Amino acid sequence: MYELIQLTDRTYYIKTPTNVGVIRTSPNEVCLIDSGRNEDEARLTYERIREKDWKVAAIYNTHSHADHIGGSHYIQQVTGCKVYLTPTEIDLALHPCLEPSLLYGAYPPRDLRNWYIMADKCDLDYLTDDRLPPGLTMFRLPGHVFHMVGFRTEDGVVFLADAIMGQKTLERHPITFLYDTGSYLETLRMIKKMDGDIYVPSHAEALKDIATLAQLNIDKLKEVADRIVEFCEEPLTFEEILQKLVLFYHLRLNFLQYAIIGSTVRSYLAWLKDIGRLEVDYEDGRMQWKAL
């Protein structure tokens, strides 16, 4: 963990709980893709950079989740580097309470107001194509959050952020966080056809074959959706659907996991209703979901 792994002549990543991309833009200067979860991890990441006598010129964050931007504050403090984030995501980062509020659906309790959800603020600039160094391009990855992006280097390395999960992650967490289920499915289909030499997901090892893993993610998404529809052969409330999924997949709940999984299940329900697989009814003061 926290080792610097070389992928090509100029592109590396630091293996952390949330992988950090490292791209050499000159002999002694690098830019980073994301910055890790918090200050402690950022210190270890920065140690790997200093061991090479490289200067950090910029951090290009894929999206605003704290496990991706939580280290930006520390690295900016010690290097003075620029930190970039896309529109909408920058607003979430500048107002950290928005993230747990979105998960909870109201002002969040203290259980959700913590470093895992709310990253330390830093000075941020809008991430646009003209802010990228030569040879680095950016592309949209809809579905996981409002405005997540990936990056492609000119030497064929593709950084995929949270647009795809590794097999081990899917086994442990079959219901991974989604904001827009339909858009995420389209993103997975796009990734399956993507042309690149090496792919770096944020929560898996770098790999050369992305199509197989993309299909595994597609299959898991469809499995969860089908399971929800199957449960809803009889009318069920949201809480009853959530309970059935938690028991079926043997998930362990705490307040944070309830918020993350619950928000994702609501996203599945919205998508399944929009595509005509579920409908809603109201009885005895309860909204119930029913398969069509």
Same domain, 13 and 157: yes
Q: 112 in a domain, yes or no? A: yes
CA–CA separation, 208 vs 195, rounded Å?
10
Q: 126 in a domain, yes or no? A: yes
Q: 207 in a domain, yes or no? A: no
Q: What is the number of domains present in the chain?
A: 2
| End residue of a domain, out of 162, 190, 215 | 162
Same domain, 158 and 17: yes
Q: 256 in a domain, yes or no? A: yes
Strands 149-153 and 125-126: unpaired
Q: What CATH number corresponds to the domain at position 258?
A: 1.10.10
CA–CA separation, 141 vs 201, rounded Å?
12
| End residue of a domain, out of 108, 138, 162 | 162
| End residue of a domain, out of 105, 137, 162 | 162
Same domain, 245 and 102: no
- For every residue of 91-156, DSSP letters joined together read HHHHSTTHHHHHHHTSSPPGGGSSTTTSPPP---EE--GGGSPTTEEEEE-TTSSSS-EEEEETTS
Angle formed at CA 229 by CA 224 and CA 235, multiple of 5 degrees: 135
Q: What CATH number corresponds to the domain at position 33?
A: 3.60.15.10
pLDDT tens string, the chain, 292 residues long: the values are 899 999 999 999 999 999 999 999 999 999 999 999 999 999 999 999 999 999 999 999 999 999 999 999 999 999 999 999 999 999 999 999 999 999 999 999 999 999 999 999 999 999 999 999 999 999 999 999 999 999 999 999 999 999 999 999 999 999 999 999 999 999 999 999 999 999 999 999 999 999 999 999 999 999 999 999 999 999 999 999 999 999 999 999 999 999 999 999 999 999 999 999 999 999 999 999 999 9
198 DSSP 8-state letter: E
Q: 251 in a domain, yes or no? A: yes
